[in-house]
């Protein structure tokens, strides 16, 4: 799932909404689109339903229609929580009205260009200036958002899933300490050889998928900053039986670590260093 922020920089609500609508319309032609509207005035998640005459009385309330249409309200959800659930079923998520420094974004308004962060795809004075096709191709050149759950959901949708009795996964995450006395790791920063890393991951997926009894392989590795406790890498294998599923997951992560040009810098509370230097 690709995540795109649409934020207001002095344009006001109506131009912001129009820009978001234009982008959502275009993305809807390519896949399922989730829209997250940030509104700080929502103070009581259940108030909307109460106002329409219902007394929900729960922390999460769904109102369901006969044909699968629905609305929902609730409490205690962050933007990250919503993205996690959208990633299970959407190809795109558009976040309107809240800055997301770590995701690509479109800015509407007259803020000067030199104030903009690197993650901004384009900044326009008004929605009419938007080159939607350029926004979509720039968005699709960014790193997609995936989680272990979204990758498992994706592989289950594979047509070959009807022959698969096993899904095995590996998740690599940032550990704060290897030993009790180690200085805490704050985060890791990954650099990728653009193009070549993706080619090698795709070739590795294809090679593993060619194995007897293996019906699907997904490899996903984050780049940039990954904080202590967060996931770095996932390997997901769809297979006929557990033996080839386990074997392929293990070979997949080992070969990814050996063959894909990714470079890891570790930043601890005391120090920072390239991880390969400590083992050369």
Partner 1 sequence: MTTATAIEWKLFADLAEHAGTRTVTLEIDPETDTVGDALDALLEDQPDLAERVLDGGELRSQINVLRNGADVRSQEDGLETQLEDGDELALFPPVSGG
Find the shortest distance in angstroms from Cβ 280 to partner 1.
Answer: 6
Binding site for partner 1 (CB under 8 A): 172, 190-191, 193, 195-196, 199-200, 221, 232-233, 253, 256-265, 274-277, 279-280
* Min CB(219)–partner 1 separation in Å: 10
Task: Tell me the C-alpha distance between 188 and 118, whole Å.
Answer: 20
Between 100 and 256, CB nearer to partner 1: 256
Nearer to partner 1, 212 or 258 (CB): 258
Closest distance of CB 31 from partner 1, Å: 28
Integer CA distances (angstroms), 185 to 175, 189, 201, 263, in order: 7, 11, 27, 16
Give the angle subtended at the CA of 50 by the CAs of 48 and 51, to the nearest 5°. 65
Please, what is the minimum distance in Å from the beta carbon of residue 191 to partner 1?
A: 6
Nearer to partner 1 (CB atom), residue 159 or residue 195: 195
Q: Considering beta carbons, is residue 199 or 207 the nearer one to partner 1?
A: 199
> Which residue number, 42 or 227, has a Cβ lying nearer to partner 1?
227
Considering beta carbons, is residue 42 or 141 the nearer one to partner 1? 141
Contact 109, 21 (CB under 8 A): no
User: Considering the complex, what minimum distance in angstroms separates the CB of residue 274 from partner 1?
Assistant: 5
Tell me how far, at minimum, the Cβ of 250 lies from partner 1, in Å: 12
């Amino acid at each position: 799932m690709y995540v795109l922020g649409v934020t207001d920089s002095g344009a006001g609500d109506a131009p912001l909404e129009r820009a978001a609508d234009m982008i959502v319309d275009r993305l809807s032609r390519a896949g399922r689109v989730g829209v997250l509207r940030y509104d700080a005035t929502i103070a009581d998640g259940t108030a909307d339903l109460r106002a329409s005459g219902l007394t929900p009385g729960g922390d999460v309330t769904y109102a369901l229609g006969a044909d699968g249409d629905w609305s929902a309200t609730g409490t205690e959800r962050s933007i990250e929580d919503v993205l996690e659930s959208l990633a299970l079923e959407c190809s795109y998520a558009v976040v309107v009205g809240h800055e997301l420094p770590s995701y690509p974004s479109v800015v509407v308004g007259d803020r000067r260009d030199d104030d903009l962060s690197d993650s901004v795809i384009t900044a326009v004075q008004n929605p009419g200036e938007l080159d939607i096709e350029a926004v979509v191709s720039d968005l699709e050149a960014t790193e997609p958002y995936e989680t272990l759950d979204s990758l498992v959901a994706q592989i289950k949708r594979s047509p070959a899933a009807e022959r698969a009795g096993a899904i095995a996964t590996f998740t690599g995450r940032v550990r704060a300490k290897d030993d009790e006395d180690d200085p805490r790791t704050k985060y890791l920063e990954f650099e990728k050889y653009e193009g070549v890393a993706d080619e090698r991951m795709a070739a590795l997926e294809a090679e593993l998928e060619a194995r007897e009894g293996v019906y699907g392989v997904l490899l996903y590795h984050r780049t940039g900053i990954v904080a202590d406790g967060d996931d770095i890498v996932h390997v997901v294998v769809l297979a006929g039986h557990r033996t080839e599923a386990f074997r392929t997951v293990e070979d997949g992560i080992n070969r990814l670590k050996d063959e894909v040009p990714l470079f890891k810098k570790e930043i601890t509370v005391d120090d920072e260093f390239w991880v390969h230097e400590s083992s050369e």
